[in-house]
Amino acid sequence: MISRFGLLLSLLILISAFAEINAERKHNARKVYLFKPLTMLLILVLAWIQGVPSSGMYSLLIFIGLILSLGGDVALMWPKDRFLVGLVFFLMAQVSYIGAFFNGMTGTLSIWNGIPFLSLSLVVFGLLHSRLGKLKIPVLIYSLVLGIMAWVAWERYLEHQGFLTLAAFGGALLFVLSDALLGWDRFRSPVPQRHIMVLGTYFTAQWLFALSSGQAINSTS
């Protein structure tokens, strides 16, 4: 599942994530620039030791998705917020995660399993629609891809039930929740305790993805 070094890394990730959330809460830009990328870098190290060199395409695609997410984080925390650039980075990250979840699957996707995830994506988009301005189309595309990512993660879990596939699906759900909260906070109204809510779910999602890197292509766990 996870080595002792992995447990130590997870503790460091937790400490760094709390430091980042506290820095955001106190509007301490220097610490934000330090701890936000540091948290993701630690998660990348965890993904690597969990299986990137030996577990095949699944782990590699998860690793690529984490790198792209780090790029999105950097774009969003830049002094002049590059929201669209960040959105593109995260869109590519979701595509990479989708590729990872497809890897090793032998069955076909059930549209009935996908309806709840795609419906949720469209509902969230509908609630934000009137406030998005020129971002309507990019946000719609991203919302649908995010829903597909969660759908494929669920299908993978159904086909290969086990702790690691469950971790990946849990990460997918938390990623959807994090982005929904971020969108609501940015375009509708402030989310209470938004730093904890948005960043807490985001970092946990990425940590779970990294943890799931221990599964091989043909894993059934």
What confidence score (pLDDT) does residue 5 get? 87
Q: What is the mean pLDDT of each run of 10 residues along the chain (221 residues)?
A: 85 97 92 95 94 79 97 87 90 97 87 95 94 94 97 95 93 97 93 92 97 63 37
**Number of C-alpha atoms within 13 angstroms, CB side, residue 188?**
16
220 in a domain, yes or no?
no
pLDDT of the residue at 91 = 98
Q: How far is CA 144 from the centre of its chain?
A: 15
Measure the CA–CA gap between 49 and 4, rounded to whole angstroms: 11
The whole-number pLDDT of residue 53 equals: 64
- Domain containing 43 equals 4-214
Residue-level pLDDT at 206: 98
204: tokens are: 């946990």
Whole-structure pTM value: 0.92
User: Which stretches within 78-199 are classed as H helix?
Assistant: 83-102, 111-128, 136-159, 163-187, 194
| Number of structural domains in the chain | 1
> Is the residue at 59 inside a domain?
yes
Give a yes or no: residue 108 inside a domain.
yes
What contacts 217, CB < 8 A, 6 or more positions away?
A: 55, 56, 57, 58, 103, 104
Alpha-carbon distance of 89 to 91, in angstroms, equals: 5
The verdict on residue 221 lying in a domain is: no
What is the residue type of 180? A
219 within some domain: no
Give the Cα separation of 13 and 9 in Å (integer): 6
